[in-house]
Amino acid sequence: MTAEPGGTRVAVVTGGSSGIGLATCERLSDEGFTVAALDVKPDDAAGVAAMTLRCDVTGEADVTTAMATVAERLGPIDVLVNNAGITGSQAAARCHETPVEEWDRVQAVNVRGPFLCSRAVLPSMLARGSGHIITIASVAGLVAFPGRCAYTASKGAALMLTRSIAVDYAAAGIRANAVCPGMVYTPMTSWRLDQPELRAEVEARIPVGRVASPGEIADAVALLASGRLSYMTGHPLVVDGGMSAL
């Protein structure tokens, strides 16, 4: 694999202790990156990532401290994977049904989090003239998920944040792309997918006939992080089994 220009192979993965984040830590480690996993409960990434740190991505001080610690101990951050995200509770449904506090909670993790993390790593990337910010968005940022107003809006915002970073920093040698998964079996979705009838309903709407594994999304992140697609920036890489093509 070819590293990004600048020679470092340090990657930070937020939400790195479970689901897509944990699979991404494993995959990037296999690809030769030195990986730091940030999470509110980081212990599950121990032994997979070179460093685990507790970090609430909605808190500016938490993010600033965590990114500085990674850079001090592991070296400049070459790749940031903004993976931490939530779907919101069942109360975060249609617009008029969604409590304001639930809306704010979803936006804080899914939009404020990637903003704060990207903001924290960009000065170092600018100084080195290289870097790649990869945000896990969702096909919900491209097509609306019924009854998930807060989540859909947050993923659309995360995708546009990615595009904004891409156009603002391309001339400085920094790229930004998004991975847009469809339905993935993770601890966040298992409550639904572990119910046979509900899983059958979901898979009936996916042309390949099944949900994705976290490792399949991690494969997409690793491809972007490899540097092989060096001309790609501002792009939503859709990995959804054909769901959004219907």
Tokens linked to 182: 């469809």
**DSSP reduced 3-state for 158:** helix
The set of residues, in sequence order, having a beta carbon less than 8 Å from that of 58 and lying 6+ positions away, is 108, 109, 112, 113, 116
SS3 17: coil
- Cα separation, 111 vs 61, whole angstroms: 16
- The two structure tokens encoding residue 217: 């999304």
Does residue 28 form part of some domain? yes
Domain that holds residue 150: 10-186+213-237
C-alpha dihedral sign at 44, 47, 49, 53: positive
**Residue 4 lies inside a defined structural domain of this protein:** no
pLDDT band at 26 (very low <50, low <70, confident <90, very high): very high
Q: Answer yes or no: is 138 within a domain.
A: yes
* Domain contains 245: no
- The answer as to whether 196 is a domain residue is no
The 10s digit of each residue's pLDDT in 129-178 is: 999 999 999 999 999 999 999 999 999 999 999 999 999 999 999 999 99
Q: Specify the 3-state DSSP secondary structure of 160.
A: helix
Has residue 166 been placed in a domain? yes
pLDDT at 237: 98
CB atoms < 10 A from the CB of 185, how many? 17
Q: Which residues are catalytic?
A: 151
Give the total number of structural domains in the chain.
1
Q: Judge whether 242 lies within some domain.
A: no
* 5 within domain boundaries: no
Res. 200: pLDDT tops 90: yes
CATH number of the domain enclosing 32: 3.40.50.720
